[in-house]
Structure 1
Amino acid sequence: MWGLKRSFPELATPRFILRELEPRDARALYTILSTEEVMRYYGSDPLLAVYEAKNVIAYFKDQFQQGKAIRWAICDRLTNELVGTIGFHNWTPQYYRAEIGFEVSPHYWRQGVAFEAATAVIQHGFEEFKFHRISALVAPGNEGSNRLVQKLGFIEEGLLHDYAYSHGRFMDLTMYRLLKTEWEEKEHLMI
């Protein structure tokens, strides 16, 4: 989409810096992505070794360079600790759309981390990447993520039966959408 010269956008929220994942993040990312509770709805099995986290980081970097995806590290402003990641994938520029995905360390669950990071990322997506639509696919049993996307203003469109395969079984996913006009209306109401 944009070639190899595009610089990775760094974002800031009141509590977090959102920056490119780096090889130094491998151990912290492994800790998150090897946790069964985190990976239950992730779409892949828990990682078994730190080198797999390095491969994930390299994959995200490659996807960004190809203009297919972007994944930010969510880092605590005070400690620089990696607490999760967030980003867009299945980026389809000709249709002005992408899907959002995220995961947060269980130590930071129910503290508003994903909401704060997602608000910044969604705003950036609509303003800078010129998205018209952002989708979210969430397993019906993933209560936290379902609440989060609804709080962000996403609207449920339907259930995709046996859409994903993870942990040795097929999974249903709920399709959510957020259009730029819906986001702008939500932002206007918050002012």
Structure 2
Amino acid sequence: AAREMVLVAEQGVLGGRNRLDPTWHEMLNHATRKVNEAEEERVRSEREHQRVTQLCQEAEAKVQTLQKSLKKVIVKSKPYFELKAQFNQILEEHKAKVTALERAVAQAKTRYSVALRNLEEISEQIHARRLQRLGLGRAPPLGAEASPQPPGSELEGTQGTQLGAEGPAGDTLSVLSLQTIASDLQKFDSVEHLL
């Protein structure tokens, strides 16, 4: 491109009526300077290319020499490096499994804590229903502490009917929740066993 600029400038200077036009001379000087800079850069690049090529050839010669002199050692050590590559691959696979198991454990722990919270809520609901049914601040005593009730007592009758009416619904809810919690605990135990 710089050489083309020089040609254009020379044609402008030679072809013009006024050969002393400073614009053409300035353009010619600028184009000549660009040609000289490009030539210097080309020479520098050639020298650098020759230097790097020489270094590359020396390195290849050294590699060839080392391969010839260390051929027995290379053959003996080759199985080690092949095994190392295999073990590294197995290690990466195990790391991926451990990461997956850790994720599963974290999810199981989250489900476990949610299940425990749900169980606590269910327990509180059942306790509140019992207190509501009995109309007392405290549940009646059991076993030897319980005072015998007369056969036609109102408390026994209300307990029987209310337990019969609301008991199964509460029991069904708690049984289903307990089954869910039990299955979550089994999954959690199996994941922890794998770790």
TM-score (norm 2): 0.20
Name whichever structure is richer in helix by fraction: 2
> Bigger relative contact order, structure 1 or 2, given CA contacts below 8 A and separation 6+?
2
TM-score (norm 1): 0.20
